[in-house]
């Protein structure tokens, strides 16, 4: 991605803010004659090579305790649970967010389409993971996986998995992880229901994971 173009468009605000998915910038891809439209997220953009690639998150990693991914494929919920099991952990909490057939004030939801500022999602997941470990130092393994593209009713759009020595911290850490993901990851949804459609219904500004919730005393 031509990150310099994004730098020209964003406002230079120090925080990582969200803009409407209707806000676009055109960029020219090297070797292509056509420009393509990308979403713009206000905030700093890291220089240098990207540490993760989009659509590379459905294979369980080996010999590491974090698994963060963004993918168009079906989320591997069972594999995420199996991966999170750890010899020193007596609890594994799995959260799967699934597409339902209604939303607040809207019946007959037919499908959702998720889009993301791809290069920033996994680094943001990593920040969430670091904050989980800061608040709950005994955490074993952490997985945050999110889908993009069109999803039908009953499909899983996001998975958060946390293992810990005891159930209390596993539940608390998993709750924080999914809440922080929803509040801080640059991911948008387009909702289609029986008599309408809209982007980002109930959208809010992106927050830093450190500011989500109240750290345990």
CA angle 49/149/203 to nearest 5° reads 85
Domain residue ranges in the chain: 49-211
Nearest Cα to Cα of residue 129 among 93, 165, 90, 177: 177
pLDDT of res. 204: 62
pLDDT of the residue at 187:
93
What pLDDT was estimated at residue 120? 92
Q: What was the pLDDT predicted at 214?
A: 65
CA-to-CA dists, residue 181 to 2, 73, 105, 160, 175, angstroms: 25, 19, 24, 9, 10
Q: Which fold has domain 49-211?
A: Aldehyde Oxidoreductase; domain 3 (3.90.1170)
Which residue blocks in 36-117 are alpha helix, DSSP H?
Answer: 77-84
Residue 108 φ/ψ region, left for φ over 0, alpha for ψ in the -120 to 50 degree band, beta for the rest: left
Tens of pLDDT, residue by residue, the chain (217 residues): 322 222 222 222 233 333 333 333 323 333 333 323 333 333 333 333 333 334 445 789 988 999 999 999 999 999 999 999 999 999 999 999 999 888 777 788 888 899 999 899 999 999 999 999 999 999 999 999 999 999 999 999 999 999 999 999 999 999 999 999 999 999 998 888 888 787 765 566 678 888 888 655 5
pLDDT of amino acid 165:
98
Neighbouring-strand partners of residue 36: 27
Q: Give residue 202's pLDDT.
A: 58
* 3-state DSSP assignment of residue 135: helix
- Provide the pLDDT for residue 203: 60
């Amino acid at each position: 991605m031509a990150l310099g173009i994004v730098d020209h468009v964003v406002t230079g605000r120090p925080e990582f803010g969200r803009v409407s998915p209707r806000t676009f910038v055109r960029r020219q891809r090297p070797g292509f004659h056509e420009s393509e439209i990308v979403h713009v997220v206000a905030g700093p953009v890291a220089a240098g090579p990207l540490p993760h690639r989009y659509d590379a998150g459905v294979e369980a990693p080996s010999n590491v305790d974090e698994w963060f991914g963004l993918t168009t494929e079906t989320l591997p919920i069972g594999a995420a649970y199996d991966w999170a099991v750890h010899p020193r952990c007596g609890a594994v909490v799995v959260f799967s967010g699934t597409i339902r057939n209604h939303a607040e004030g809207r019946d007959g939801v037919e499908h959702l389409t998720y889009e993301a500022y791809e290069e920033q999602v996994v680094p943001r997941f990593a920040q969430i993971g670091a904050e989980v470990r800061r608040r709950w130092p005994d955490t074993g393994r952490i997985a945050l996986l999110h889908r993009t593209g069109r999803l039908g009713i009953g499909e899983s759009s996001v998975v958060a998995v946390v293992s810990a020595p005891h159930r209390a911290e596993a539940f608390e850490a998993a709750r924080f992880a999914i809440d922080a993901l929803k509040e801080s990851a640059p991911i948008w949804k387009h909702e289609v229901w029986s008599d309408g459609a809209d982007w980002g219904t109930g959208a809010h500004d992106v927050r830093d994971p450190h500011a989500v919730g109240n750290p345990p005393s």
